[in-house]
Each structure stands twice: as C-alpha cells, then as structure tokens.
Amino acid sequence: MSIEPIAAINVDEIAREVSASTATNTETPNFSDWLVGQGVELNEQLNSVDVEIRKFATGETTNIHQVLLTVEKAKLSFELVTQIRNKALEGYQEILRMQV
C-alpha cells in the first residue's frame, strides 16, 4: 500500500478562480431577494416534511430517522427566518423611535 503525498496548494491559482467567478456575477446580491429565496426554500422544506410524514404514516417508509431529520431541518430553518424577521422588525421600530 503506497500513500501518495499531498500536492502543494497553489493559493494564487485559487484566488484567480474565485475572482474570475465573482467577476462574472456583476449583479449585486440584494437582501430582499435573499430573504424571498429563503422563504421559498423554507416552503419547500415544509412541503417535504409533509410528504415524509405522510409516507411514514401510510407505511411507505419505515425510516424514522430520515423523517425526524427532515422535520428538524425545517424547524431550524423556520426558527432562523423567524429570528431574522424579529431582528428586522426591531430595527424598523428603532428607526421609528429616532427623533428627526
């Protein structure tokens, strides 16, 4: 059994690839677009949870671990979106309290 040596990492080449990939993406990411995307992704996760629970309830699958992982993943995503909403609302309320 032979062990191959680890090849040297060329940091300059990686940096050029990263800068080239970011240079092709000229559109600046927008927070509202990101937030909408997270909402869509959360909705898809909640739908997949519904499908997994239905499969488990009807006996199509017996893998409870997969069902619970899907549920927990959706739960964490929902909590993240809720916290982001709460922070955005707090920021908005703070702006309203500012005196002009």
Q: What is the model's pLDDT at position 30?
A: 84
Q: What is the model's pLDDT at position 50?
A: 93
Q: What is the model's pLDDT at position 58?
A: 92
Number of H helices, E strands in the chain: 3, 0
Please state the domain extents for the chain.
27-97
Q: What angle do CA 45, 81, 29 make, to 5 degrees?
A: 95
Q: What is the model's pLDDT at position 71?
A: 92
Q: Rounded distance, CA 76 to CA 97, Å?
A: 31
Q: What is the model's pLDDT at position 1?
A: 64
Which of 99, 45, 47 is closest to 77 using CA atoms?
45
Number of CB atoms found within 10 A of residue 41's CB: 12
Tell me the average confidence (pLDDT) per consecutive run of 10 residues in the chain, 100 residues long: 67 70 66 85 91 92 89 92 92 90
Residue type, 56: F
